[in-house]
Amino acid sequence: MTTVGTSSSRPIRAWRGRFLTLLALLGGLATQPGLAWATDTALPTPPAQCMGLQAEPQLEITLMFGMRRPNDGRRINRHEWNAFMREVVTPRFPAGLTVLRGDGQWQNRTSGQIGREPSRIVWIVTPPAPDLQTRLETIRQTYRTRFAQQSVGLVVTASCAAF
């Protein structure tokens, strides 16, 4: 394990362990039956290198959206995407976010074939909150329903951020 800015790895390991526990609750495991999202919104104290930057514990959320409808291959156009962002995403994260264009690749769950399509990545940095799961699941479910998508990717990473 790498330690940065400290002579002992013990504080980093303790901090990292608490974040990994939080990530397990916020990530894919949280959607499994019987498991719930973390309701404690206090993140552990960040390591020295984050505090030196006047940074706060935050969550980095990455949402991955395919831009083609699987049933007919039609592309989700700019107007449809902008309406989705305006109506669904922005109201749930009004403090800010970043949208990146990408070229997605995925494996079909049924056939095993590799598919490729244009994609959008929405990157959000936010403090933890009790309603975070609800906001994210609303975004994901609305997109799946509106554009007949099989899934919307989600990655949650603990971090330190300063703005």
Going residue by residue through the chain, which has 163 residues, state the pLDDT in tens, using 9 for 90 and above: 333 333 333 333 333 444 443 444 444 434 433 333 444 455 555 566 677 778 888 999 999 999 999 888 899 999 999 999 999 999 999 999 999 999 999 888 889 999 899 999 999 999 999 999 999 999 999 999 999 998 999 999 988 888 8
Question: In angstroms, rounded to a whole number, what is the distance separating the alpha carbons of residues 67 and 73?
Answer: 9
Residue 42 forms part of a structural domain: yes
Q: Tell me the Cα Rg of the chain.
A: 18
Q: Side chain identity at 58, as an amino acid letter?
A: Q
CB 99 within 8 A of CB 120: yes
Q: Side chain identity at 39, as an amino acid letter?
A: T
Neighbours of 78 (CB within 10 A): 9
Residue 140 forms part of a structural domain: yes
Residue 2 forms part of a structural domain: no
With CA atoms as reference, report the closest residue to 118 among 61, 87, 62, 74: 74
Give me the long-range contacts of 71-76 (CB less than 8 A, separation at least 24): 71/148, 75/118, 76/147
Residue 37 forms part of a structural domain: yes
Quote the tokens at residue 18. Answer: 């608490």
Residue 20 forms part of a structural domain: yes
Number of domains forming the structure of the chain: 1
Residue 5 forms part of a structural domain: no
CATH of the domain at 43: 3.30.70.120
Domain of 58? 10-161
Question: In angstroms, rounded to a whole number, what is the distance separating the alpha carbons of residues 140 and 24?
Answer: 19
Question: In angstroms, rounded to a whole number, what is the distance separating the alpha carbons of residues 46 and 133?
Answer: 23
Residue 4 forms part of a structural domain: no
Question: In angstroms, rounded to a whole number, what is the distance separating the alpha carbons of residues 136 and 160?
Answer: 20
With tokens 């969550």, the residue in question is 59
Residue 1 forms part of a structural domain: no
What does the pLDDT read at residue 21?
A: 39
Residue 89 makes CB contacts below 8 A (sequence gap 6+) with: 97, 122, 139
